Amino acid sequence: MGVRIALCQCDIAWEQPARNLARLEPMVAAADADVVLLPELFATGFTLAPAGVAEGDDGAVVTALRRWAARYGKAFAGSVAVAEGGRFFNRMYFVKPSGECVHYDKRHLFTPGGEARNYAPGSCRTVVGYGGVRFLLLVCYDLRFPVWSRCRGDYDAILCCASWPAPRREAWRTLLRARAIENQCYVAGVNRVGEDPSARYAGDSALVDFKGRTMAEADDREQIFTAVFDVDALAAFREKFPAWRDADDFRIQM
């Protein structure tokens, strides 16, 4: 049993949601995949002024994701600046063709860049099932925190959307593989390309298997590429090499 994952590595027009959605639709429509993963804040870029672009759960960006999912018969995932209860969240959505919409609020906000001054952190992990695969949702900086993303037998793959600057590209590439190896899971990590007012982005999006092997990887150009996450192969590997049985028990204090 397998699910085909597509990573949509793209440039993002700064704080122009309508323009970005118009550019993205033909790209994602052509993707031969069951799940399409978009970068962090794919409709606006990594803005630290969410008040000017944030929307609610029924806003234009999430409505577009729902429309695409229904029209093209694929699930879509990516993060959006959301306003809720007087606060702003960097919220990752997973939208299914059925219309079901699950979300995860980024837990680890990038304090060195000022994100924590403008967004509120999430308080719980989100695992969503689709096509027989259980996906843990992560956003960018979350990737640096292995305790938060530790597999407890509750997921098969990580979906991570990011706006990861080029100067730290080797950390991004290494962490994707580290999370795959230590959790014996697949990892899909999509990053953007291009520039915004504060950073340059090198892409390096990748699909990694449960042994840390690269299944597919991008360079610094816009592109969509895919790989299949095979849960039967994953289950066989976890049974043959059951490192998870020796994992340390722990509890996260919120």
Catalytic member of 15, 40, 55, 115: 40
| Residue 185 designated active-site | no
Burial 48-87 (b: 16+ CB within 10 A, else e): eebeebbbeeebebbebbbebbeebebbbbbbbbbbeeee
Provide Rg for the chain, Cα atoms.
17
Catalytic member of 15, 55, 106, 160: 106
Q: How far is CA 190 from CA 79, 124, 130, 151, 165, in A?
A: 11, 22, 19, 20, 12
The encoded tokens of residue 85 equal: 């209860």
CA angle 170, 91, 96 (to 5 degrees): 100
Residue 140 bears catalytic tag: yes
Alpha-carbon gap, residue 121 to 15, rounded angstroms: 21
Please tell me whether residue 172 adopts helix, strand or coil conformation: helix
Q: Nearest to residue 43, comparing CAs of 62, 75, 20?
A: 20
229 half-sphere exposure, CB direction, 13 A CA radius: 31
Q: Quick check: is 40 catalytic?
A: yes
Rounded to whole angstroms, how far apart are CA atoms 174 and 177?
5
Per annotation, catalytic residue among 8, 140, 151, 160: 140
Active site residues: 40, 106, 140
